[in-house]
């Protein structure tokens, strides 16, 4: 599976999907009348935001969470995973862990938010752990992508070029 994610065409599709889904959140934010729950770091902030929203806004946010925000971590997490797997060399088995973990953290956060938007706020307090974990893992995975690309460039520069036939 990881070899598939590292193919050029898959990386391009994941990049395009990540950009398109990311762009879609601006219209979602308009439909929800304010800040999305994903951007709030704690369960208390999420509860306060939920109290501000009317039923239509909650419904719009619910569907955006279930559709857009389920696809988004699969797109960016898949992209990070594929880039690391392709370019990190021998370190890829370790470097790929945060890229895979951020997908799990983001999907877990989305689940708690979707439940809260549907009327069950009992697990929204998990945002206190899930949201910082998501953002931390995202940043770590992005840094590891950059390191992986740097390692690939160094390897490429160290590889002696073969002389062209005259």
Residue-wise pLDDT for 7-53, tens only, equals: 999 999 999 999 999 999 999 999 999 999 999 989 999 999 999 99
CA atoms of 46 and 49, how far apart (whole Å): 5
CA atoms of 67 and 89, how far apart (whole Å): 34
CA atoms of 127 and 111, how far apart (whole Å): 10
CA atoms of 155 and 92, how far apart (whole Å): 14
Taken in order 50, 107, 90, 79, the sign of the CA dihedral is negative
Q: Name the band, by pLDDT with cuts 50, 70 and 90, for residue 164.
A: low
Higher pLDDT, 145 or 26: 145
φ, ψ at 52 (rounded to 5°): -80, -20
pTM for the model = 0.90
Taken in order 48, 24, 148, 106, the sign of the CA dihedral is positive
């Amino acid at each position: 599976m990881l070899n598939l994610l590292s193919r050029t065409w898959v990386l391009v599709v994941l990049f395009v999907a990540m950009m398109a889904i990311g762009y879609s959140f601006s219209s979602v934010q308009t439909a929800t009348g304010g800040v999305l729950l994903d951007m709030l770091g704690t369960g208390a902030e999420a509860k306060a935001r939920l109290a501000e929203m009317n039923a239509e806004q909650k419904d719009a946010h619910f569907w955006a969470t279930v559709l857009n925000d389920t696809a988004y971590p699969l797109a960016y997490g898949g992209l990070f995973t594929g880039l690391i797997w392709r370019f990190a060399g021998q370190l890829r088995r370790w470097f790929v862990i945060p890229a895979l973990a951020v997908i799990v953290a983001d999907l877990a956060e989305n689940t708690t938010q979707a439940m809260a938007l549907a009327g069950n706020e009992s697990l929204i307090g998990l945002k206190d752990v899930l949201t910082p974990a998501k953002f931390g893992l995202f940043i770590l995975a992005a840094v590891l992508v950059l390191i992986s690309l740097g390692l690939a460039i160094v390897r490429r520069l160290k590889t002696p070029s073969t002389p062209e036939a005259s």
